[in-house]
């Protein structure tokens, strides 16, 4: 590992100048591309620096190692993917009047689209998380954060009479999150099966609707005699 000294106080707190921030961002983008192309074990700092347009030594002004930059790439990717699915779902919007199936479908679509578009780097992250404790812990923390938001959404739906009141919100949120995440990995990374994208979205939507017994109107409302 290089022992190059930090420049202009940029480490360990990160680049303070606009130029330094842009260089660091270029390195992260370059690292993502190299990890996608070569995988984690074969990726080299030299290749990352070259793709970013900086010298090999300059890399160490921003990151201490290949391990460190990969962990940040993984964290950024996981944040984008999880945030997108929650933000686009409408489940957390208390003022939303969209039909429940539409809201679940938009959440599923957002997550699956994001995973599909970033399948190469997600595959590398999946592999590394199995033996890198820091990557695994960061990933777990991020997933836990957004699973908790799903839990809150399920609790709210139960209070509104729109979801099965007998479900444990925490367990249901964890189970559904695991199902969707594993489904995406098997589909886009491992290629265990193939189907039209809309068909996959429809299946996940139906499974979530059925698992939570979601309704568009509270029980006891609607047509006469409705349960």
Summarised one tens digit per residue, pLDDT across range 25-66 is 999 999 999 999 999 999 999 999 999 999 999 999 999 999
> Could you tell me where the beta strands, DSSP code E, fall in the chain?
none
Is pLDDT larger for residue 139 or for residue 62? 62
Domain that residue 147 falls in: 66-212
Per-residue confidence (pLDDT) for residue 90, from 0 to 100: 57
Per-residue confidence (pLDDT) for residue 219, from 0 to 100: 66
pLDDT single digits (tens) 140-190? 888 888 888 889 889 988 998 989 999 999 999 999 989 999 999 999 999
Could you give the CA distance from residue 59 to residue 50 in angstroms, rounded to a whole number?
A: 10
Structure confidence at residue 15 as a pLDDT band (50, 70, 90)? low
* 97 shares its domain with 38: no
User: Does a structural domain hold residue 36?
Assistant: yes
Per-residue confidence (pLDDT) for residue 170, from 0 to 100: 96
What's the chain's length in residues? 227
CATH number, domain with residue 56: 1.10.10.60
* Contact yes or no for 150/86 (Cβ under 8 A): yes
* 101 shares its domain with 201: yes
Per-residue confidence (pLDDT) for residue 127, from 0 to 100: 92
Query: Burial, 29: exposed, middle or buried (Cβ in 10 Å; 0-12, 13-18, 19+)?
Result: middle
User: Does a structural domain hold residue 224?
Assistant: no
Could you give the CA distance from residue 31 to residue 26 in angstroms, rounded to a whole number?
A: 8
* 47 shares its domain with 114: no
Could you give the CA distance from residue 1 to residue 171 in angstroms, rounded to a whole number?
A: 44
* 78 shares its domain with 23: no
* 100 shares its domain with 195: yes
CATH number, domain with residue 107: 1.10.357.10
* 55 shares its domain with 138: no
Residue 5 has pLDDT above 60, yes or no: no
Structure confidence at residue 81 as a pLDDT band (50, 70, 90)? confident
Per-residue confidence (pLDDT) for residue 150, from 0 to 100: 87
Predicted model pTM = 0.79
* 47 shares its domain with 135: no
- For the chain, the average pLDDT equals 84
Q: Per the structure, how many domains does the chain have?
A: 2
Determine the average pLDDT of the residues in 125-133.
91
* 177 shares its domain with 73: yes
Residue 84 to residues 27, 77, 81, 91, Cα–Cα distance (Å): 24, 11, 5, 12
């Amino acid at each position: 590992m290089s022992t190059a000294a930090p420049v202009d106080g940029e480490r360990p707190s990160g680049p303070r100048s606009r130029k330094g921030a842009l260089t660091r961002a270029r390195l992260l983008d370059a690292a993502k591309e190299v990890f996608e192309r070569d995988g984690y074990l074969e990726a080299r700092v030299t290749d990352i620096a070259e793709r970013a347009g900086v010298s090999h030594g300059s890399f160490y002004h921003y990151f201490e190692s290949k391990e460190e930059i990969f962990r940040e790439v993984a964290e950024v990717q996981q944040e984008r993917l999880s945030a997108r699915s929650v933000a686009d779902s409408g489940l957390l919007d208390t003022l939303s009047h969209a039909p429940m199936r539409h809201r679940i479908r938009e959440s599923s679509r957002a997550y699956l689209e994001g995973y599909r578009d970033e399948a190469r780097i997600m595959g590398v992250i999946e592999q590394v998380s199995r033996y890198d404790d820091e990557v695994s812990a960061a990933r777990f923390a991020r997933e836990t954060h957004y699973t908790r938001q799903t839990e809150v959404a399920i609790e709210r739906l139960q209070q509104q009479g729109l979801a099965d009141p007998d479900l444990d919100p925490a367990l249901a949120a964890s189970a559904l999150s695991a199902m969707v995440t594993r489904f995406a990995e098997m589909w886009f990374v491992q290629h265990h099966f193939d189907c039209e994208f809309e068909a996959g979205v429809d299946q996940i939507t139906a499974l979530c609707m059925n698992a939570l017994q979601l309704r568009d109107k509270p029980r006891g409302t609607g047509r006469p005699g409705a349960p």
